[in-house]
């Protein structure tokens, strides 16, 4: 792991582009998957439960946690340092939300108990593990999830500008070349859908890979959104 401490409140959103607050609204695909069975064949168990234990790793400004708290789910968030957990709390407080269960951890070490979560969420966070850390990370994610529980994992596809611009050293070991505070950071990007699915299948019994895309200013942002059942 390299440079992770560079994440802070200041670089969590771009004031120079007019943003006044850190990201505050949840990931659209996450909302869809948690709101209707029509998006995946694997999520139906989530809809039979009254109370869901949910955890997001890399919860940053709490934009996804806000959605879980709205639903009154038993919500946990993990960030890599105290400055970032303060950012999560502060941004959630802006919406009158309080989160009790906010902890410091990272992809490979999450201080929570085994087989506890119905839903585990990693949105644009798994690729901050690189090389062999990817295996450790998926083992850690899977450890926390109950049998038949779900992991939702979003990561850039090979069509995403960040991957097109970055430099591959070997599988799951890339150097970020997309500029900004992460420049030259080691990343664990995946080459394509087949390799992502193959890796996830080692840790989960069933895996579906969905896709999400945005294009603006000729920049192509495209992500795989994996639905994984333990």
Ligand X SMILES: C[S@@+](CC[C@H](N)C(=O)[O-])C[C@H]1O[C@@H](n2cnc3c(N)ncnc32)[C@H](O)[C@@H]1O
Residues that bind ligand X (CB under 6 A): 1, 4, 7, 23, 27, 57-60, 63-64, 79-80, 84, 106-107, 123-125, 128-129
Report, in Å, the least distance between residue 50 CB and ligand X: 26
> Is residue 209 within 8 Å of 226, Cβ to Cβ?
yes
First to last CA, the chain: 26
Q: How far is the CB of 127 from ligand X (least distance, A)?
A: 9
Containing H/E element for 96?
Answer: none
| Number of residue whose CB is nearest ligand X | 58
27 in Cβ contact with 64 (< 8 Å):
yes
Q: Which is nearer to ligand X, 1 or 221 (CB)?
A: 1
The answer to whether 151 and 142 are in contact (CB under 8 A) is yes
Rounded CA-CA distance 70/31 in Å is: 12
Partners of 208 in beta bridges: 227
Bridge partners, residue 75, by sequence: 54
Closer Cβ to ligand X, 73 or 128, answer by number: 128
Helix, strand or coil, per DSSP, at residue 203: coil
Dist CA 204 CA 179 (whole Å): 34
Q: Tell me the closest approach of the beta carbon of residue 162 to ligand X, in angstroms.
A: 10
- In the complex, the smallest distance separating the C-beta of residue 48 from ligand X, rounded to whole angstroms, is 26
**Which CB atom, from 53 or from 88, has the smaller least distance to ligand X?**
88
- Residue identified by tokens 């490979």 is 108
At closest approach, how far in Å is the CB of 116 from ligand X?
18
Our CB check for ligand X shows the closer of 4 and 164 to be 4
For ligand X, the closer CB: 194 or 213: 213
């Amino acid at each position: 792991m390299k440079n992770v401490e560079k994440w802070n409140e200041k670089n969590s959103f771009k004031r120079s582009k007019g943003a006044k607050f850190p990201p505050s609204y949840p990931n659209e695909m996450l909302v869809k998957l948690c709101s209707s069975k029509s998006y995946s064949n694997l999520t139906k168990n989530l809809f039979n439960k009254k109370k869901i234990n949910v955890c997001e790793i890399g919860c940053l400004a709490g934009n996804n946690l806000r959605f879980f708290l709205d639903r009154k789910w038993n919500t946990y968030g993990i960030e890599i340092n105290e400055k970032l957990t303060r950012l999560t709390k502060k941004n959630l407080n802006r919406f009158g939300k309080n989160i009790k269960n906010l902890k410091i951890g990272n992809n490979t070490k999450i201080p929570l108990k085994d087989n506890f979560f119905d839903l585990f969420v990693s949105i644009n966070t798994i690729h901050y593990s690189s090389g062999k850390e990817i295996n450790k990370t998926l083992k850690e994610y899977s450890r926390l999830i109950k049998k038949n529980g779900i992991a939702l994992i979003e990561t850039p596809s090979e069509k995403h500008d960040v991957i097109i611009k970055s430099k591959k050293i070997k599988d799951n070991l890339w150097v970020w070349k997309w500029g900004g505070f992460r420049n030259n950071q080691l990343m664990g990007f995946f080459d394509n859908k087949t390799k992502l699915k193959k890796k996830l299948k080692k840790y989960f019994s069933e895996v579906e890979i969905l896709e999400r895309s945005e294009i603006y200013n000729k920049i192509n942002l495209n992500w795989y959104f994996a639905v994984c059942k333990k």
